[in-house]
Structure 1
């Protein structure tokens, strides 16, 4: 168990420097160690079913966050939609029908326990903090309480730094974001296929999953116009450039 001094250092590192436009000095690995988990990832909501990875420990946590974003299922999407924390002490004991695709993928990454907390500003969920661990078992009372403290600090930092949060909330193309291509591709597909942004993201995710490719990679193809989602041709499928087809 880490000392309260260690936790205080983590919290101090989450404070934005004046005029910085972002969270400065935030060390995700140090945060994970302070909370007694193997990894942590924080994503913020940017609208239309999209979220942006703000920071994370490298490796498994980043992979889990990308996997949830590609599939549109998992603790992160659940928490973002409900504003309620999700705790899964053992992925192997979780009903398969809860996250039918994510569960086996998460286990393949070596994850046995996952805990996801909302970043709440009043009743609004601004994002999520997901903790993962290779060892099964619940998050103990003190680390859980500390995790909630971290979420409050993260939320306060986002809200107080108006420039940073304003960029997330108002962004249209997300050109400076980790998932910049996904934000851009979603808008392009919406226009190409004549569908809403939410439907465009569903189609992009479906294509990435069907072809076993990372979502960012497929999005880059859309932005580069190597893949094109056209208006439905009458049978519920949208032709793609290069002779492929994409279902709704």
Structure 2
């Protein structure tokens, strides 16, 4: 059974904007942050694009997963099953390489990720993060998050079935890809290195991780031509031949 707080959230789902929804969901779930992303097909396959999210550690965790290309949110979105890690410090090192330690550094101790979709349909993912680790998944939190994921899925499917309908809430499909600069940069790096789009994205992710900067910042430098990837395996170059 869902909590009274989540019942209130579900009743207002169509009417509140993203920032209000994120805050209300976090309160109802008794967590520090909530994020919703949609799967958008790009040249690199289906990638999660942010729809709405709480500021702070929820946003930071989403960017961390995007930069590393691994994490519970990505697994949930692509597998269609819930992925829960109530204590990221207890996750084995090879499951999401680099992610647990970085997540703890930004204040995320536990994550609960629920797919948005039905059957073979994959729409996106609901991610819930907390700064407090737990040995088990709180039963009420799990039930409330499942109810929220089901409601968001129904709303997205309803909108897809009526494309001419005007967006009624923050859960409507976004009009633009928020991470378009990353996809543009991936194409540019693919040409610079004469590699596939997947390999180009991997090179950018590796560079971003090695420099401890968001992938979006690296992509912005590539698109602005402040950074160019060369093919000598020595890393990107800044204009004029300087190391990036």
Unaligned runs of 5+ in 1: 18-22, 169-173
1:171 aligned partner:
none
TM-score of the aligned structures, taking structure 1 as reference length? 0.80
Give CA-to-partner distance per residue, 1:172-208, whole Å, 9 cap, x none: xx9x433232122123223333333222221221121
**Is structure 2 residue 156 aligned with structure 1 residue 158?**
yes
Which residue is 1:15 aligned to? 14
Distance of aligned partners of 1:26 and 1:195 in 2 relative to their CA distance in 1, 3 Å threshold: farther
CA separation of 1:199 and 1:13: change in aligned 2, threshold 3 A: farther
Query: 1:99-130 deviations in whole A, cap 9, x for unaligned?
Result: 23111111112222211111123223221111
Q: Which residue of 2 aligns with 1:183?
A: 183
Equivalence map 1:1-248=2 (5 Å):
3-4=3-4, 6-15=5-14, 27-47=21-41, 48-137=45-134, 138-162=136-160, 163=163, 176-230=176-230, 232=231, 240-242=237-239, 243=241
Please give the alpha-carbon distance, in whole angstroms, between the structure 2 residues aligned to 1:14 and 1:3: 15
Q: Equivalents in 1 of 2:119, 2:188: separation in Å?
A: 33
SS in 2 for 1:27: helix
Bigger RCO of structures 1 and 2 (CA < 8 A, at least 6 apart): 2
C-alpha distance in structure 1 between counterparts of 2:108 and 2:138, whole Å: 17
Q: Give the unaligned 5+ runs of structure 2.
A: none
**Number of equivalenced pairs:** 231
Once the 2 structures are TM-superposed, how far is the Cα of residue 24 of structure 1 from its aligned partner?
Answer: 6.5
SS in 2 for 1:41: strand
Work out whether residues 10 and 26 of structure 1, in 8 Å CA contact, stay in contact via their aligned partners in 2.
Answer: no
Mean Cα displacement is larger for which, 94-103 or 148-157?
A: 94-103
